[in-house]
Amino acid sequence: MGKVKSFVTLKTSVTPEMQELINQQIKLEAVSSWAYLAAASWCDKEGFVGSAAYLYKHAEEERMHMMKFFNYLNNAGGHALAPAIKEVKYDFETLREVFEDALAHEIKVTHAINDLVDACLKMKDFATFQFLQWFVQEQREEEVISRRAVELFDIIGEEGQGIWHIDKAIGELAAQAEAADSAEAPAE
């Protein structure tokens, strides 16, 4: 039995500490996906079709982020764990609350990515450091677009038809993000 354990330990350069940190990030990305999905459903229920489209797309994007971490860890010889997600917010008072929560969550994810990068440097895990650079850039973009969505509430105002215009503008953010993703996708 000892030889098997030694072989398993030797088949990866990912330390047990880094594996734990990556699994924590996998869970955070899964929570992100479920949170966006729950918010999208609430928006659909409330008739905010532009916001729902934006949030459904974002839920899929967060799942893709989770899978990038999942695949990276498994391909490096580690063991990625499918996380249990217990608490997701399903009800909101206002559309603004949905997007303020989203911005706060994106900032939390940015801090988590930064902490992971810092841990890589301390552990001299340069392969994981290199892998994380995509996420560093992605989080900057996530914060920018989330901040823009919240700013729309102040720029347009929520009175009268304002909320309708905000929902429409957020739907356009979804379309812009999709066009940007298509432009970045490799040609087949």
The total of other beta-carbon atoms located within 10 Å of residue 91's CB is 9
Q: Are 163 and 112 in contact (CB under 8 A)?
A: no
Of the candidates 57, 46, 146, the residue with the CA atom closest to the CA atom of residue 100 = 146
Q: What residues does each domain of the chain span?
A: 13-81+93-180
Res 188: pLDDT? 43
Res 44: pLDDT? 97
What kind of fold does domain 13-81+93-180 have according to CATH? Answer: Ferritin (1.20.1260)
Q: Are 170 and 149 in contact (CB under 8 A)?
A: yes
Mean pLDDT, the chain, whole residue set:
89
Q: How many CA atoms lie within 13 A of 15 on its CB side?
A: 12
pLDDT-derived band at 61, boundaries 50, 70, 90: very high
Res 2: pLDDT? 47
Res. 41: pLDDT tops 80: yes
- CA dihedral 120→122→16→106, nearest 10 degrees, is -40
**What is the sign, positive or negative, of the torsion defined by CA atoms of 123, 126, 127, 133?**
positive
Could you report the per-residue pLDDT of 89-144, keeping only the tens digit for each?
999 999 999 999 999 999 999 999 999 999 999 999 999 999 999 999 999 999 99
